[in-house]
Structure 1
Amino acid sequence: VSGYKIFYNMFATPAMYAWQQMEIGPYTVSDVTGLEPFTVYAIRVQAKSVDGRYGNMSEVVTTHVHEVQRDDAVQRFKVTQRLTNLVMLSWDKPKRDDVQTYVLRYEGVKNYREDGEVKQVFDNPVEVKINGQQTTYSVNNLKPKMRFEFNISAIFRGGEEGSPQSLVTETLIDAPPRVDKPTVKSVQKGTILMEMKRASEKNGPISHYHIVVVPSRSGVTKMPADYTFEELTKERLGVDKPASQPYIAARFESQSLPSEFSLGNNQEYGSFSNRPLHTDDNYRVFLRAYSVDQRLYTSSDFSDEISISSNIGPARPSGNTGKVPEKNHVTRVTGEVFEGDGQVK
């Protein structure tokens, strides 16, 4: 799932074209703003896949837009900005005017796939005191794709605490934290057997992987993160011939990446050709993992250089080569801004 489409309307009419709608990313929490207070709304949700297709519509649920009635509670508590590591909050003062401070309490949780299993992590509860003159606060140093619950209440000069107001939101997804480089296992019958490992989805769900091959005769000396998709798809030689330019040998969906891949077997994987390899050429390989937001990806470092004329058995850990320590190469993106008064959660 790369995102969702939210439909909302005052009447649950079957004519969906009459409903208002909004698109969001791969998040399970969203604010619908600009609604009429004291009004019942019908809501439906539709999932969007990474190839742009939409799934079936959810059943209708109804929700009531209301305003806070208590004089001691903050008003219009909402999220105004989300980033991968930051949430900006704002609110209006309570109707009662002797506020001394505000107390903001929050905690987070997220589930993600890593090493073939679903893991869960928690952010411990945090309590922050905020000056009574402030009506905004930036919560920093958060983790990507984590669901947070925020509660705020006013502390008055007499020491009493007002009624708390709460909201739930998620930080934005980020590129995968790292991708392990492919390793060479063996050379056999004109192909190179590579070992691959799936990346952690701690920063958000992964859409797919590209296995990228760089022939030495191409003369290209870029780092893996610097190759663009256009550069990797400009080879003009027939797919049954060894490539002269860097190319994508295969595409695999996030949960379909094999632990072993036979480079150069002249088969097709996800509309990309795993071209035959040239006997007199050397090759380096890297793995690129794409988030469900295609602007976000992480590339591994290059594998060791190898050719099909090499005589190699199972890969062994290499010693100190004197090279600069390996780094993963990450592409990032900015956040989203939301505005409006009425909210539905």
Structure 2
Amino acid sequence: MPRHAQFCACLGAITCGRRRLSRDSHWKHAQKSCGNEPAYLKFGSEIDCGTPPEVPDGYIIGNYTSRLGGQVHYACKEGFFSGSEDTVSRCTALGTWESPKLNCQEINCGRPPEVQHAVLVGNHSSSLGGVAHYVCLEGFESPGGKITSVCTEKGTWRASTLSCTEITIEINDVSVFNNTCVRWRINPGRINSKTAYMVHIKGHRLDSMESVHEETVNLTTESRTPEMCLDLHQGTNYTVSISAAPPRRSVPAIIGFQTAEDDLLEDDGIFNISIFNEACLKLNRHSRKVGSERMYQFQVLGRKWYLSHFYHATSLNFTTREQAAVVCLDLYPATNYTVNVTLLGSPEQHSVQTTVTTPGVKQTISNISIFNETCLRWRSLKTADVEEMYLFHIRGQRWYQKEFAQEMIFNITASSQAPETCLDLHPGTNYSVTVQALSSQSPVVISLTTQITEPPLPEVDFFAVWGRALPRLRLRRAEEKNGPVSSYQVLVLPLALHSTFVCDSEDATSFFSNTSDVNGYVAAELLAKDVPNDAMEISIGDRLYYGKYYNAPLKTGNDYCIVLRITSEWDKVKRSSCALWAQVKGAVVCAAWKTGPASFLISHRRVQIQRPPSPQPALLPGVFLKCSADFVTSPDGACIVLHQFSVWFPRPQVATNVLFSIQTDAPALFWIQPLLSLLNVSAHMITCSLLPWIAL
């Protein structure tokens, strides 16, 4: 036997090394080894798999052996369940246990089932053993006891065998007291809220088989011993049926009784009136004399509190022999009526007066529409030629002007069935208009938007200039009264176009266009958001770009008019307003120096300067002096065209005068402080003084 054979046990057929041991204990060559690594067992030794593996949330059932072929049975712990997985793990020939396939999951039954006519109460657990409690809805009960549902080990709720059934109200012990009053009792402890009852009354006269009094009255009460007094005729046999009003159920309780006979031998003409169905009157005659025919006169007067001159007057006569006659009147909605009923033909002229207020109809306005931007028309469903008052509530807002808010409340009166009205509204505003006819219960709402109009004329300080430079122009923000301001434009036009210029014209384009000399040009464009609230200044011809437009200098000797145009644009509508800002004749252009402090280079042909610590004075062939000054303007706002500076050297006594021209955009000043620096010279002080103004 090969030396490897002592490590092998003959278990069926085990592959060992390169040979195979068969059941007949003969070694044969094997093509593969036992697994990835040789698995050798010493001949004659017993296989023991040791302690079985654990299953999460599971446990081992019963006893087991850890030897080859031994089996371990698993089960899930209480509160957990598994599917149909294999619950067995076996000890293998490799000396290991098979991996358990059991997967224990916590039991969760989810939401409890619904029980008809019941609701869940309190908190419930959806884990194993959790109990859901139910209570029946009002009007229902569970005769068998409390309704519960329990979460089972299968992860489902065990439905209750009990259910909620509708309570049938038992009406008992019906009795009569005070001749016309009834009381009864309901089964105790079954109803905890108010209950509505229907009491049906049917009366017969003692001398007639015809019904003389029949009606149904309602009573709502939470008493367990309800009682009510009825308006009954005297000397009449009555059958009264009492039952619970739907949706409650009950077995009707019926009682019969006879009211006491009256002592009236004749019809005294006394009657009273009750109102039902909003416009119907019931005449209840005091007399019970059969066949007594009477005529009644109805005088009806209606007025509306919101229409001082509205009157609805009508009169009619009504003849009847009934004990409880009914008359329904044709009345207008939302009207206060006084009804006077008089018995005719009676010496006493018995009369009863009552008031009726008719409710408003649901809606009387239809087909409301807008015309001419701010006018409304609609159809009225009221009777023709009857006046109606309409209440208007108008709210206006602007998205571009948060502080704007307009609110108006007013009313109009109209008798037409197609009323129209025009509203006084602001331009460039979104409105919500609520209209309600005072005879109706609900309003109608419509939205409208007014178009913008021309913005207010720009507020400008007009300048007229002849033969001198134009001062700075002050631009003020325009008020957004008629719509949102979009932009401000400064237009430079030939003076000849002033009388024919149209504000909305688009002829004026950029300065660089071929037609700028003829049609003028836009020198500057500023968006509304770029203009400060306190105003800003603009210089015509400052060679800067404002938006996409170049502010070019005016041409010397030409005549111009400067126009400020304000443009408002909203909802695809564009409107403009223009104002003449300045008029220039014989334009003067100052030397074009850059705005701000300027530096001037002054060249001296020959200057003798002694520079310490050198012992000998030296002659420099050329010295450059740099003189800096702040720009200034003359008092009248025109540019300064000439200044004269003198430069003195204390030693030697040499003076050099330099003349030059500057243009300034600074505020008007009357002095200037030049700053002088000397290049390549450090020994002597040199001063630069400003001489008086020199006009051009």
Distance in 1 separating the partners of 2:452 and 2:396: 14
Q: CA deviation at 1:309?
A: 5.5
2:376 counterpart (89, 92, 109): 89
1:264 equivalent in alignment to 2:541: yes
Q: What is the identity, as a one-letter code, of the residue corresponding to 2:568?
A: S
Distance in 2 separating the partners of 1:150 and 1:227: 33
What do residues 252-302 of structure 1 show as CA deviations (whole Å, max 9, x unaligned)? 111213611121022222221211222323432111111114531111234
Contact kept in structure 1, 2:525 and 2:548, CA below 8 Å: yes
Partner of 1:103: 390
Distance in 2 separating the partners of 1:183 and 1:215: 17
1:208 counterpart (482, 487, 497): 487
Distance in 2 separating the partners of 1:111 and 1:227: 24
Q: CA deviation at 1:223?
A: 5.3
Q: Closer, same or farther in 2 for the Cα pair 1:201/1:79, shift >3 Å?
A: farther
What do residues 310-335 of structure 1 show as CA deviations (whole Å, max 9, x unaligned)? 976359xxxxxxxxxxxxxxxxxxxx
Partner of 2:300: none
Instruction: Give 1:320-335 correspondences, 5 Å limit.
Output: none
1:79 equivalent in alignment to 2:355: no
Distance in 2 separating the partners of 1:154 and 1:290: 42
Partner secondary structure for residue 233 of structure 1: coil
Partner secondary structure for residue 409 of structure 2: strand
User: Taking structure 2 as the reference length, what is the TM-score of the superposition?
Assistant: 0.29
Contact kept in structure 1, 2:398 and 2:428, CA below 8 Å: no
**Higher RCO structure, 1 or 2 (CA under 8 Å, sep 6+):** 1
Contact kept in structure 1, 2:494 and 2:560, CA below 8 Å: yes
User: Taking structure 1 as the reference length, what is the TM-score of the superposition?
Assistant: 0.54
CA RMSD of aligned residues (A): 3.9
Distance in 2 separating the partners of 1:146 and 1:152: 19
Partner of 2:434: 151
Q: Closer, same or farther in 2 for the Cα pair 1:127/1:102, shift >3 Å?
A: closer
Q: Closer, same or farther in 2 for the Cα pair 1:237/1:292, shift >3 Å?
A: closer
Partner secondary structure for residue 539 of structure 2: strand
Partner of 1:291: 568
Partner secondary structure for residue 313 of structure 1: coil
Q: CA deviation at 1:236?
A: 6.2
Distance in 2 separating the partners of 1:151 and 1:130: 17
* Gap runs ≥5 in structure 1: 1-69, 316-345
Q: Closer, same or farther in 2 for the Cα pair 1:210/1:182, shift >3 Å?
A: farther
Instruction: Give 1:290-329 correspondences, 5 Å limit.
Output: 290-293=567-570, 295-305=574-584, 307-308=587-588, 313=636
Higher Cα radius of gyration = 2
Contact kept in structure 1, 2:452 and 2:482, CA below 8 Å: yes
Partner of 1:122: 406
Q: What is the identity, as a one-letter code, of the residue corresponding to 2:577?
A: T
Contact kept in structure 1, 2:470 and 2:584, CA below 8 Å: no
Contact kept in structure 2, 1:108 and 1:146, CA below 8 Å: no
Q: CA deviation at 1:164?
A: 2.2
Q: CA deviation at 1:112?
A: 8.2
Q: Closer, same or farther in 2 for the Cα pair 1:308/1:74, shift >3 Å?
A: farther
Distance in 2 separating the partners of 1:273 and 1:296: 24
Q: CA deviation at 1:249?
A: 0.5
Q: What is the identity, as a one-letter code, of the residue corresponding to 2:574?
A: R
Distance in 1 separating the partners of 2:432 and 2:518: 53
**Larger deviation, residues 201-210 vs 133-142:** 133-142
Distance in 1 separating the partners of 2:512 and 2:368: 53
Contact kept in structure 1, 2:464 and 2:582, CA below 8 Å: no
Partner secondary structure for residue 255 of structure 1: helix
Q: Closer, same or farther in 2 for the Cα pair 1:122/1:278, shift >3 Å?
A: same
Partner secondary structure for residue 263 of structure 1: coil
Q: What is the identity, as a one-letter code, of the residue corresponding to 1:145?
A: G
Instruction: Give 1:270-285 correspondences, 5 Å limit.
Output: 270-285=547-562
Partner of 1:30: none
Partner of 2:455: 176
Q: CA deviation at 1:149?
A: 3.5
Distance in 2 separating the partners of 1:225 and 1:121: 34
**Larger deviation, residues 191-200 vs 304-313:** 304-313
Partner of 1:233: 509
Q: CA deviation at 1:150?
A: 2.6
Distance in 2 separating the partners of 1:170 and 1:196: 31
Partner of 1:250: 524
Percent of matched pairs sharing the same residue: 19
**Larger deviation, residues 121-130 vs 250-259:** 121-130
Q: Closer, same or farther in 2 for the Cα pair 1:184/1:220, shift >3 Å?
A: closer
Q: Closer, same or farther in 2 for the Cα pair 1:274/1:162, shift >3 Å?
A: same
* Gap runs ≥5 in structure 2: 1-359, 591-633, 639-696
- The number of residue pairs the alignment matches comes to 228
